[in-house]
Amino acid sequence: MEKEELKILAQNLANPQGEKGIEIGEMMNATNISMTLESIRTLVINEGQHTLEIGHGNAGHLKSIMSLAKNLRYTGIDISETMHNEARKLNKEFENQAEFVLYEGKKLPFQDSTFDKIFTVNTVYFWKNPVEFLNEIYRVLKDEGTFVLTFGQREFMEKLPFTEYDFTPYSNSEMEELISKSLFKRMKMTEKEEEIKSKTGNETIQRIYTILTIKK
């Protein structure tokens, strides 16, 4: 891919827009699905709980969440109007249990201690003030709640040609240090490895990623 194409890809991975954004949203859902499902499994969602997903994309995985237990509620939040509209369109069957919220990416527009479970996959690279944002997540999470943060490790991310444009990659130790600066107190780290199709072509690549299970 040419430099300009890589820039456009990077921009749409951060904030999908228009027809190209819809296409990239579908591609992200496909390439990230195993990370997303592992993150959902790690949350251990139980009956009657309310889950927040930060950066839901097209939310093609919502059915997997709703099948886990009875009386679940889901809130998805995203900065992309394109993904907000796509997620609502693709998940009409869950409109009584799920809501999608468009926001500016800094403050979470919810009351303190709203959610039992919170998760986010492949969004941390785009957070402008990560410690402040972690503290926002802390604020809206219930005291006994669980927050799962999943990200591709720096060594893997730096091999991808588009991550030089507005991505901030993290190693496990860098992420650990970041979490320690926030209000969160406890953290468990799990590493995973998988073979995926590249976002820039048809070749397969080995992805190494980390799931952090974080508690107050």
Give the strands of the sheet with 141-152, arranged side by side. 98-102, 73-78, 50-54, 115-121, 141-152, 204-215, 186-197
Report which of 54, 56, 8, 16 is spatially closest to residue 161, judged by C-alpha positions: 8
Identify the band that residue 10 occupies on the pLDDT scale cut at 50, 70 and 90.
low
Return the pLDDT at 22: 82
The contacts found for 93-97 with CB under 8 angstroms, 24 or more apart, are: 94/62, 94/63, 94/66, 97/66, 97/72, 97/73
* pLDDT band, residue 21 (cuts 50/70/90): confident
Residue 194 β-bridge partners? 207
> What pLDDT is recorded for position 5?
66
For residue 173, pLDDT over 60 is answered with: yes
- pLDDT tens readout for residues 45-67: 999 999 999 999 999 999 999 99
Spatial contact of 31 and 75, defined as CB atoms under 8 Å apart: no
Contact between 87 and 100 (Cβ < 8 Å): yes
CB 175 within 8 A of CB 107: no
Please state, in angstroms and rounded to a whole number, the distance separating the CA atoms of residues 178 and 205: 28
